[in-house]
Structure 1
Amino acid sequence: MSNLTVVILTKNEEKNIVDVIHNAKQVTETVLIVDSGSTDNTVALAEANGAKVVYRAWDNDFGAQRNFALQHVTTKWVLYLDADERLNSKIVEAIKMTATADEQKQYSIKRKSVAFGQEFNYGVLKPDFVPRLFKTKNVHWVNKVHEKPVCEDKLEVLDGYIEHYTYTGWQQWLHKFDQYTTIWAVDSYAKGKRVNLTKAFGHAVFGFIQMAILKKGILDGGMGLAMSCNHFFYTLMKYLKLIELQRKGEN
């Protein structure tokens, strides 16, 4: 019996689900899908390809979805993988060795992003390191959007990387833009965060400078500049939505 479960969150991922399950099965036979109400063939395809599927209604809380998964994991180790991510051969071997060694640690994995048919090396979508492999009983997640794990085990980086096939088109980007900015604004308002227009524009301008210049987004060419501009609007919009909630709360 495997001592590792791969957890994948889904909603309408029929284009990705078969490939990601087959990819996950390179490290374990135990694949858990947490579906939030797919209306396409995601669930049927997942079950047909040997994954266990559980359901949790979507409530705009990514951290809660990941924590819900832990209730259904019975193995010592848990690895989180998104439906649009793939493990490369080197990280597959590193994960299998790590799960066998069974040390009291958590592990981060390098992630490379491909969007709109281009691999990014700088700026918004530059390669990053994401903690993904944990002892099941030692981790929980916080934040509704841009969720992060809380784990006290020593953090190490595994060899290899995840290929992240993110935005395939602008309609998909706009959908996530609207979804993420709304979740952030509602959550921030509930936590007591307040802002004005001057600060909103200040955050947005700094966000552009950070991505285009400090993180060298312009070195990714026209698309790198475009993504830096998009980050300006993303940052501005999440604060504008917060301001909108503030105004409604005052009436």
Structure 2
Amino acid sequence: MVDVSVIILAKNEEEKIGNCIKSCLFANEILVIDDGSTDKTVEIAKTLGARVLHRSMNGDWGAQQTFGIRQASFDWIFFIDADELCTPELAKEIEDVVTRNEQGEYWIKRINKFVHNKATHGVLRPDYVSRLMPKKDSYVEGYVHPAIITPYGKKKLKAHMYHYTYDNWTQYLNKLNNYTTLAAEKYKKDNKKCGFFKDIVFRPAWAFIKMYILNKGFMDGKMGWILSVNHYFYTMNKYVKLYYLYKSNGKL
């Protein structure tokens, strides 16, 4: 056990949060910030020893994570999503860093897993995410893809974590719809410009090329094609929604 606060944002995650928490039992605090779950998420978390706080997210991931940081009991924090698992190797590495108090913003390799098929390129290629850092002077800002702000130098851990992306296509497409709406609203708030040909015609095509060809989505066969095409539509739809947000206000 090590003095680090694990922070998990959750809403209706009864199928996954148990395994997530169990993978983090190396920590002396597991803090779940619950966004109004109506299933057994809270019950499961408490049964496994987590401290649960209730707060409405309202689409603002950054504010929710910053709230978690402020509520953390220890000087080190580790972010993990309810659909992720910390591997034993990663847990040991985190213990070592925190015990030695080696200050830094630690990035961790995340291996994405899709329940239906194996895909390791394109959209589901492994990525690095910022997850472990001292609590002091750290905060998060942003809606759909929040950015963690810290004064510490960036470092990488050797061990990896797992991310179990989607259980079914309905969940996948519902999330795509929700994320594109939030992205469009954020872009509008930031006064991001939107042109029909540049952003709705050409930008999605480039997004597909980048995922399918440059990031080798083609190596994942049928699934690589499906996910790359969906990335095309994700990119297009967030700009379509932004375009019509402006149009409804008479700005286009």
TM over 0.5, yes or no?
A: yes
Aligned-partner Cα distance in 2 for 1:120–1:6: 28
| Secondary structure, aligned partner of 1:113 | strand
The percent identity for this pair of structures is 36
Q: Which residue of 2 aligns with 1:119?
A: 118
| Comparing 234-243 and 51-60, the one that deviates more | 51-60
Aligned-partner Cα distance in 2 for 1:118–1:99: 36
Structure 2 counterpart of 1:98, one-letter code: V
Structure 1 residues 124-155: Cα deviation after superposition (integer angstroms, max 9, x where no partner)? 11000101001011321121011121112111
Aligned-partner Cα distance in 1 for 2:70–2:114: 33
4+ residue runs of structure 1 moved beyond 6 angstroms?
A: none
Structure 1 residues 46-76: Cα deviation after superposition (integer angstroms, max 9, x where no partner)? 1111000001112111111101101211201
Aligned-partner Cα distance in 2 for 1:87–1:214: 29
Aligned-partner Cα distance in 1 for 2:150–2:71: 19
Unaligned runs of 5+ in 1: none
Q: Which residue of 2 aligns with 1:24?
A: 24
Structure 1 residues 142-186: Cα deviation after superposition (integer angstroms, max 9, x where no partner)? 210111211121111111101111111101101110110000101
Please report how far the alpha carbon of residue 117 of structure 1 lies from its aligned counterpart in structure 2 after TM superposition. Answer: 2.9
Is the 8 Å Cα contact of residues 112 and 119 (structure 1) preserved in structure 2?
A: no
Instruction: Report the TM-score when normalising by structure 2.
Output: 0.96
Q: Which residue of 2 aligns with 1:141?
A: 140
Q: Which residue of 1 aligns with 2:104?
A: 105
Please report how far the alpha carbon of residue 225 of structure 1 lies from its aligned counterpart in structure 2 after TM superposition. Answer: 1.0
Instruction: Report the TM-score when normalising by structure 1.
Output: 0.96
Please report how far the alpha carbon of residue 19 of structure 1 lies from its aligned counterpart in structure 2 after TM superposition. Answer: 1.1
Asked if 1:177 corresponds to 2:176, the answer is yes
Unaligned runs of 5+ in 2: none
Asked if 1:226 corresponds to 2:230, the answer is no
Q: Which residue of 2 aligns with 1:94?
A: 93
| Comparing 203-212 and 42-51, the one that deviates more | 42-51
Asked if 1:52 corresponds to 2:51, the answer is yes
Q: Which residue of 1 aligns with 2:217?
A: 217
Is the 8 Å Cα contact of residues 2 and 95 (structure 2) preserved in structure 1?
A: no
Structure 2 counterpart of 1:20, one-letter code: C
RMSD over equivalenced CA pairs, Å: 1.2
| Comparing 3-12 and 147-156, the one that deviates more | 147-156
Please report how far the alpha carbon of residue 44 of structure 1 lies from its aligned counterpart in structure 2 after TM superposition. Answer: 1.2
| Secondary structure, aligned partner of 1:240 | helix
Aligned-partner Cα distance in 2 for 1:174–1:227: 11
Aligned-partner Cα distance in 1 for 2:3–2:49: 17
Aligned-partner Cα distance in 1 for 2:143–2:116: 29
Aligned-partner Cα distance in 1 for 2:117–2:137: 37
Query: What does 1:33-44 correspond to in 2, within 5 Å?
Result: 33-44=32-43
Asked if 1:205 corresponds to 2:205, the answer is yes
